[in-house]
Structure 1
């Protein structure tokens, strides 16, 4: 155990020294490369031009959706179709709040994809009630397809 700890300390020390030996010029060149090449920001997706509050709210919603999908996946693996159906409907479905949210961004394409996503979650909820794992996974995949399409098309 002591040998392993000593080995890790030595590796850390070597890594630290190699970083410390990097010249100021190399550091500045690295920083300039990051600043001068903003192409990562221009990736072809449509910006929704959200303000900071809208961005945070939207990120919170996306994380909530992702957590719901994770919960559904676990529930399906446990053959708990009733609970999976409930989660799909209540956390991802076409609630009035979700419909209003999708319409609030002022982009018709985004609104359409969002509404189709929520509609597919309603349909997924109904499929789960039939307790067929293959059909349930296909429905989940269909819903996730809207996530993939939206994230490939839009950015904040």
Structure 2
């Protein structure tokens, strides 16, 4: 196994550990949001984080985080399959993060309040499609190249954007001038 594959496997194993869900919080009558000083601490952190906000309703933000964790699991599965020359497994895992009309609609909806977000999100999914193509060709080096390109789209997106959880009136205000979702997911 090449050093690049070993290094990537190690990195993804570490990142995969981060993707596991935390145990449920104990039931209490007070939440962290109401703890003294929490709001000001969260505000201080938000001011330090200069990434562009992606406004989302709470349910949307949670759904997006679940998808991101699943994307990470798919990348972990790609690396594990590639390590054993299981190109069908690589293709199957890459298909989970590749483009589909449903994924395009979801990315468009999620990015409705953040101009530029949808294009970057769709680019990720289209980039992941190239992993599948390389797996169909049984081209190990190209799978790694395309996986690297896909991970670069991940890191550049996470470097540019942060979730901003908003209430329904704010969501409506921020997305009322958004273009129709159908045209936003087309790639010419």
User: What TM-score range do you get, normalising by the shorter chain?
Assistant: 0.7 to 0.9
Please state which structure has a larger fraction of its residues in helix: 1
TM-score (norm 1): 0.73
Report SS of the residue matched to 1:40. helix
Which residue does 1:92 correspond to in 2?
97
Which residue does 1:72 correspond to in 2?
78
Residue pair 2:134, 2:140 contacting (<8 A) in 1 also: no
Residue pair 2:94, 2:128 contacting (<8 A) in 1 also: yes
By how many angstroms is 1:108 displaced?
3.3
Of residues 79, 88, 98, the one that matches 1:82 is: 88
Which residue does 2:166 correspond to in 1?
none
TM-score (norm 2): 0.61
Which residue does 2:145 correspond to in 1?
138
Gaps in structure 2 of 5+ consecutive residues: 1-35, 164-188
CA distance in 2, matches of 1:121, 1:35: 39
Of residues 156, 159, 163, the one that matches 1:152 is: 159
Which residue does 2:4 correspond to in 1?
none
Which residue does 1:24 correspond to in 2?
none
Of residues 51, 58, 64, the one that matches 2:64 is: 58
